[in-house]
Structure 1
Amino acid sequence: MLMLLPHVASAAPATASSPAELPPPPAWLAVVEADYSRHHVDGLSSRIFTAEHWWEIATPLLTTEAGFEIEPIGYSAEGRPLRHVHWGDGPTRVLLWSQMHGDESTASMALADLFRFLGQSPAHPLADRLRRQLSLHVVPILNPDGAARFQRRNAQGIDINRDAAALASPEARALKMLRDRLQPAFGFNLHDQRPGYRVGDSARGTAIALLAPPFNEQREVNDVRGRAIGVSALIRAALEPRIGGHIARWDDEFNPRAFGDLMTYWGTSTVLIESGGIEGDPQKQKLRKLNFLALLVALDAIASGDYASAPHALYTGLPENGDVWPDLLIRGATLASPGVAPARADILVEFEHALSGEGGRITDIGDLGARSARTVIDARDLYLTPVPGSRLVHNAPARFALSRDPEGLQVVWSLLDDLDTTQPMPENAGRH
């Protein structure tokens, strides 16, 4: 089995900067990274958790002695509390919000690590600088009802990130009121994106995508957006040596309903961080660490003012998010269903949880031509047989085996809804 972790290509008109052109990282970065195990918060090893669980884990860190304040800012559609954490005495207000989509939890885990670093390392020069220069305001889980179901939308079925103008949901109203009260200079909109996204026109998966959202349809760069671009450039500079070739730029088409775009319009320099996927990281713990480092780099850039001199080309030169590749493509197998004439065909499978390979469903059958996928299996010498009680039809659960005989007796690999990670993939499987 061939496994490819992020490898770089550019599809964007601008030319991506090479690592040699990157500015030097902050002096503290390598030390904090090497010491990450001290800042890592236990109890969040799975990316699926409730808001109640997150607060149970994080609240012991958020003491007044460590400089934290917890403030209620409202209730969700189902009555779950919405809370805002404040830390820092500085003049520059920064608003961070995570998990406005309930199934996008990577940054919420990283925020717990950030709180531990800030609270337990007060003498660290970075923590001291952030405390003196910044006033951090954090909504760790904006959509607790969605988190309870691990679903994108809130309990009303509303996409909170498309509710910035209408403010129909209580969660959107709470965030807008907090923003209006604080008038933050900077904002961080923290999300996850589908792991199938490619970097530009390459085969490399996007691990992190950045965006300094526009404030108008012309996508102009004013001072507000320019500051966000500077911060994004320094995030890219810090992450490039760690996930080189796996960083992309989100499409910057203006959306008048989205919080990131309207935050910029309202005067808050906003950075979108999207956590995609790294193969072999189903619970996104590697991406959690990268988020932790990215947030520290970004906050330090604001506290020090270094964002003002950051070369914008580091951001604009990033390839955009490219195509979204499906999860699994089995190419050229002979379909052998009882009572049905055999046929040689390709079969496409998508998983409800792509990185962990859970909840597989057949999404296409036939000649799929030059289509690609995150994992491709060449099955031209094998039969694909359904397990008893299952069918090889469009939209059916993915329950089948690859075997050397049409009866399915000499099985070489099988899929029963969920991938069995202990089962070796066929030797000719390619993973990207």
Structure 2
Amino acid sequence: MNSRLRPLSLLCASVAVFSVAAFAPPAQAEPAGAPADRSAAEVRSLPRTVDPRPSNEELAEELAEIADRSRGRVEVRSIGDSNQGRPVWAARIGDGPVRIQYISQQHGNEPLGAPAALEYVRTLGLGNSFWHRWLRSRVTVDVIVRANPDGHVHDWRYNYDPDADPEYGQAGQGYDINRYHDPAVAPDDNPATEAGHIQRAYAEFRPDIVVDYHMQGRYIDDEGREITASLLWPTHPDVADSDVEAAQQVSVVAERAITRLVPGSNVSLYPGGDYQGIARNAYGLRGSASVLIELSDMGAEHEQAQIRSAYAAMLAVTQSAADGSLRRIDPDRAEQIPPRGEPLPDTERAHPLRLDSLD
């Protein structure tokens, strides 16, 4: 494995590490005439039923239609192909100073972030009110809509690589993409193909904020209420304090949005580890406010609410980064988000491949 590694110092020399202590230049933090937040109205206007599992072909068609209708406001591109030749689609919107990257469905059997990401691209790219135009002038957003198209087809956690004999993954199936973002591993040396694509997209874009969407099993809090989503910031000890605090601010915004805009929501902290190959830690080490959001897999009757939760958090983080309110949040408030608690009885066997202590 050591032959695949390049020193972190050499890799970072080619991609500048940047601070996120301030998410926008001070002179632009609170522009005159900034419109009121209409995230709540956008969440309410989301269709009652969103396809929770669009095929790769349907996803590509929807993105192409959005790009065509946007009149240049949405740039859709492939950041690379999967091992089975499927494009990994990304959409870029806006031209503002604050850069946000959303990543969805690194694990193929954790689907609900992708339809939320698609609806977010549609809203931010096609909306043409003063609010939409203002957001696009304040932020630039890059959305990796479905990071693991092969895993989606096979309905498993991993990418597709029948030759894989991985440290993290399944021999004969593939690699666990979300263990292969280590900053010490160059993209060209990355054995997990799609993780290498994400590394390149990150290096080219250099986001201030990264939010990575996953799904977890079913859990309850200390009062017996079911957890609907969990989140966490970087926990690797070498992440700069300023970047941890910035990620905690993002976490507070996301938790508030889900709780406020989606009835019945109950958000907890996620008990994640400090391994540096996990995106949450890796991109914190690279200088971004990096946050994990895990939607609970609560069954078909809750899927629309979970899609709304992911969508609401995307809009709220965008709004708060655009208007400067994100920088005024006390990061210590993130520590007040309660712990996740125990698995819901009789559900552990339903999620045999959810490695929930490791993202």
Report TM bin, short chain.
0.7 to 0.9
The corresponding residue for 2:254 is 235
The corresponding residue for 1:210 is 231
Amino acid paired to 1:143: N
1:74 to 1:131, Cα distance in 2 relative to 1, 3 A: same
Alignment partners' CA distance in 1, 2:207 and 2:214: 19
The corresponding residue for 1:193 is 216
Alignment partners' CA distance in 2, 1:136 and 1:262: 19
Aligned with 2:102 (options 96, 99, 105): 96
SS of residue in 2 equivalent to 1:74: strand
Alignment partners' CA distance in 2, 1:98 and 1:279: 19
Please tell me whether the aligned partners of residues 246 and 331 of structure 2 are also in contact (alpha carbons under 8 angstroms). no
Alignment partners' CA distance in 1, 2:145 and 2:265: 29
Aligned runs of 1:5-404 on 2, under 5 Å?
27-37=37-47, 44-45=50-51, 47-63=52-68, 64-65=70-71, 67-125=73-131, 127-156=132-161, 157-165=174-182, 166=185, 167-194=190-217, 196-199=218-221, 201-216=222-237, 222-241=241-260, 242-243=262-263, 246-278=266-298, 281-282=301-302, 284-327=303-346, 350-351=349-350
Amino acid paired to 1:235: A
Alignment partners' CA distance in 1, 2:147 and 2:299: 28
Amino acid paired to 1:236: E
Larger fraction in helix = 2
Deviations 1:92-130 (A, max 9, x none): 2211111110111111111121122123322241x2222
Deviations 1:118-152 (A, max 9, x none): 23322241x22220011111110110100011111
Please tell me whether the aligned partners of residues 101 and 159 of structure 1 are also in contact (alpha carbons under 8 angstroms). yes
Alignment partners' CA distance in 1, 2:308 and 2:72: 22
Structure 1: gaps of 5 or more residues: 1-25, 329-348, 355-432
Report which of the two structures shows the higher radius of gyration computed on alpha carbons. Answer: 1
Structure 1 runs of 4+ aligned residues shifted over 6 Å read none
Deviations 1:65-118 (A, max 9, x none): 050111222111112112221110112221111111011111111112112212
SS of residue in 2 equivalent to 1:323: coil
Amino acid paired to 1:213: P
1:353 to 1:31, Cα distance in 2 relative to 1, 3 A: farther
Amino acid paired to 1:262: A
SS of residue in 1 equivalent to 2:153: helix
Q: TM-score, normalised by structure 2?
A: 0.76
1:229 to 1:244, Cα distance in 2 relative to 1, 3 A: farther
Deviations 1:268-309 (A, max 9, x none): 111211111446625x11111121111100111111111111
SS of residue in 1 equivalent to 2:77: strand
Tell me the CA shift for residue 221 of structure 1. 6.2
Please tell me whether the aligned partners of residues 179 and 279 of structure 2 are also in contact (alpha carbons under 8 angstroms). yes
Tell me the CA shift for residue 252 of structure 1. 4.5
Amino acid paired to 1:123: S
SS of residue in 1 equivalent to 2:175: coil
Alignment partners' CA distance in 2, 1:255 and 1:183: 22
Alignment partners' CA distance in 2, 1:229 and 1:69: 30
The corresponding residue for 1:373 is none
Alignment partners' CA distance in 2, 1:48 and 1:352: 18
1:61 to 1:353, Cα distance in 2 relative to 1, 3 A: farther
Please tell me whether the aligned partners of residues 109 and 288 of structure 1 are also in contact (alpha carbons under 8 angstroms). yes
Structure 2: gaps of 5 or more residues: 1-35, 162-173, 354-359
Please tell me whether the aligned partners of residues 236 and 314 of structure 1 are also in contact (alpha carbons under 8 angstroms). no
Amino acid paired to 1:324: P
% identity of equivalent residues: 23
What is the RMSD of the two structures over their aligned residues, measured on CA atoms?
2.4
Number of aligned residues: 298
Tell me the CA shift for residue 34 of structure 1. 2.9
Alignment partners' CA distance in 1, 2:200 and 2:39: 35
Alignment partners' CA distance in 2, 1:54 and 1:353: 27
The corresponding residue for 1:3 is none
